[in-house]
Structure 1
Amino acid sequence: MSDSFRIFLQVILIWFAGLGAATQFAKIAVPFADIGLLYPDHAAVIGWLLSIISLMGAALGAISGAFTARIGPKRLLLSGLFLGGALSFLQANLPGFQLMLLSRVIEGLSHLAIVVAAPTLIAQITTGRARYNAMVLWSTFFGVAFALNAWLGLPIVNHYGLPAYFALHGGLMLVIAILVALSKLKIDIDQPDDMGWGLTAFLGVHLRTYRSPFISAPAIGWFFYTLTFVSLLAILPGRLPEGQGASIAALMPLAGIVLSWLLVPFLLTVLSCISVVNLGFALGIITIIALFLGAPLAFGCIALFAVLGLVQGGSFAAVPELNDTAETQALSYGAMAQMGNAGNLLGAPVLLAILMGANEASMFVAVAAFYGIAILVHLALAKRRKSTGLPGSNDLK
Structure 2
Amino acid sequence: MILLLWLAGLAAAAQFAKIAVPFDLFRQQYAGAGPHIGWVLTFISAIGAVAGMSAGVVVNRFGCKPVLVLALLLGGSLSVWQAEMPVFSTMLFSRLLEGVSHLAIVVAAPTLIAEISPDRLRNFALALWSTFFGVAFALVSWLGTPFVAAHGLGALFVLHGGAMVALGLCLAMVLPSAPRLSEPDSDGIKSFLVKHIAAYRSPRIAAPGLGWLCYTLTFVSLLALLPALLPQDVRAMVAGLMPLVSILVSLVFVPLLLTRLTGVSVVIVGFALAIAVIAGVFLGGPVPVLSVALFAVLGLVQGASFVAIPQLNTTLADRAMANGAMAQMGNIGNLLGTPILLFILARADLQGVLLSVAVFYLAGIFLHIWMRARRMAETGFSDAV
Name the TM tier (shorter chain): over 0.9
Secondary structure in 1 matching 2:176 = coil
Please tell me the residue identity of whatever aligns with 1:309: G
Distance between the aligned counterparts of 1:242 and 1:195, measured in 2? 61
What's the % identity of the aligned pairs? 50
Q: Which of 299, 302, 307 is the aligned partner of 1:317? A: 307
Are residues 1:270 and 2:233 paired? no
Distance between the aligned counterparts of 2:125 and 2:187, measured in 1? 33
Match for residue 90 of structure 1?
81
C-alpha contact 1:189 1:327 (8 A) present in aligned 2: no
Are residues 1:227 and 2:217 paired? yes
Q: Tell me the TM-score normalized by structure 1.
A: 0.95
Are residues 1:151 and 2:142 paired? yes
Please tell me the residue identity of whatever aligns with 2:354: F
Match for residue 374 of structure 1?
364
Match for residue 13 of structure 2?
22
Judged with a 3 Å threshold, the aligned counterparts in structure 2 of structure 1 residues 65 and 121 are, in CA distance, closer, same or farther, namely same
Q: CA offset at residue 394 of structure 1?
A: 3.5
Match for residue 190 of structure 1?
181
User: Over aligned residue pairs, what C-alpha RMSD do you find?
Assistant: 1.3
Match for residue 226 of structure 2?
236
Q: Tell me the TM-score normalized by structure 2.
A: 0.98
Match for residue 283 of structure 1?
273
Are residues 1:108 and 2:106 paired? no
Q: Deviations over 1:345-381 (max 9, x none)?
A: 1101111111111221111111111101110110010
Runs of 5+ unmatched residues, structure 1: 1-9
Distance between the aligned counterparts of 2:351 and 2:5, measured in 1? 41
Task: Give the paired residue count.
Answer: 385
Secondary structure in 2 matching 1:294 = coil
**Which segments of structure 1 move beyond 6 Å, counting only runs of 4 or more?**
none
Runs of 5+ unmatched residues, structure 2: none
Q: Deviations over 1:297-354 (max 9, x none)?
A: 1111110011000001100000000001111000000000000000011101111111
Q: Deviations over 1:92-141 (max 9, x none)?
A: 11111111111000000000010000001001101323111100000000
Q: CA offset at residue 71 of structure 1?
A: 0.5
Please tell me the residue identity of whatever aligns with 1:110: S
Please tell me the residue identity of whatever aligns with 2:290: G
Distance between the aligned counterparts of 1:186 and 1:324, measured in 2? 20
Match for residue 135 of structure 1?
126
Please tell me the residue identity of whatever aligns with 2:107: V
Secondary structure in 1 matching 2:182 = coil
Match for residue 4 of structure 1?
none
Q: Deviations over 1:55-99 (max 9, x none)?
A: 110001001101000010111100110000000111011111111
Distance between the aligned counterparts of 2:286 and 2:176, measured in 1? 48
C-alpha contact 2:63 2:181 (8 A) present in aligned 1: no
Q: CA offset at residue 31 of structure 1?
A: 0.4
Distance between the aligned counterparts of 1:241 and 1:176, measured in 2? 42
Distance between the aligned counterparts of 2:88 and 2:264, measured in 1? 43
Q: Deviations over 1:236-277 (max 9, x none)?
A: 000111132122111111111101111111111110100000
C-alpha contact 1:62 1:205 (8 A) present in aligned 2: no
Match for residue 248 of structure 1?
238
Please tell me the residue identity of whatever aligns with 1:312: Q
